[in-house]
Amino acid sequence: HEEAHSLRLARAIVRDRRGVRCERRGNGRIQRRGVGDLRQPFALDDLRDRPTRPKMDREHIARATLVATTSRTGPDGDSESLLLVNLEAGASGRPVVSTQHGGIPEYVKDDHSGLLVPEGDAEALAAGIIRVLRDRALAERLAAGGVEQANTWDVNACAARMDDLSDELLARPRK
């Protein structure tokens, strides 16, 4: 049950790191029916469920200590491809903790630009988030790696690589 997963994760982080505020962002809503005591010890400001708007997301990423994203394969086998927010977080110099799922490892290189955990493992995700929050040197290293990783996706860098590849292929003798 996705809502209970989100609340358990946030509660584990808040228990470990007092003063941390978790925001769950996206197009879905946390359904509070059936999760009762999982909301404890949250006050309204401790866990927020917000819709996604691109400008707001960029502003929140810029203020975030870290960005954590999750993705899982749907019941019909559908999976997300890349989660662009991971690349945006890296470009903004924010460490990322995400799931080893779909195309996410294209944007998040484990232990270089972020930490990747198994899909559906809330405890591993919470542990990764707590690890980054506790270890400033790790957070700074991942943030720097995120900027480096994001720069590889810069349109000018990609175009230059395509030009180089074209030149190389055109220079090869024809068979």
**CA 160/CA 150 separation, integer angstroms:** 15
The pLDDT assigned to 63 comes to 83
The pLDDT assigned to 92 comes to 92
The pLDDT assigned to 134 comes to 87
Residues 44-80 have pLDDT tens digits of 334 444 555 555 577 788 888 888 888 878 788 877 6
Of the two residues 53 and 159, the one the predictor is more confident about is 159
Structure tokens at 36: 């009762």
The pLDDT assigned to 120 comes to 81
Residues 6-36 have pLDDT tens digits of 666 666 776 666 666 666 665 544 434 333 3
The pLDDT assigned to 11 comes to 66
Structure tokens at 97: 């903790």
**CA 64/CA 66 separation, integer angstroms:** 5
The pLDDT assigned to 74 comes to 77
| pLDDT of residue 146 exceeding 90 | yes
Residues 74-109 have pLDDT tens digits of 788 877 667 888 899 999 999 999 989 888 999 899
Q: What is the pTM of this model?
A: 0.71
The pLDDT assigned to 6 comes to 60
Residues 36-47 have pLDDT tens digits of 333 333 333 344
* Mode of pairing for the β-strands spanning 47-50 and 67-68: unpaired
**CA 164/CA 31 separation, integer angstroms:** 51
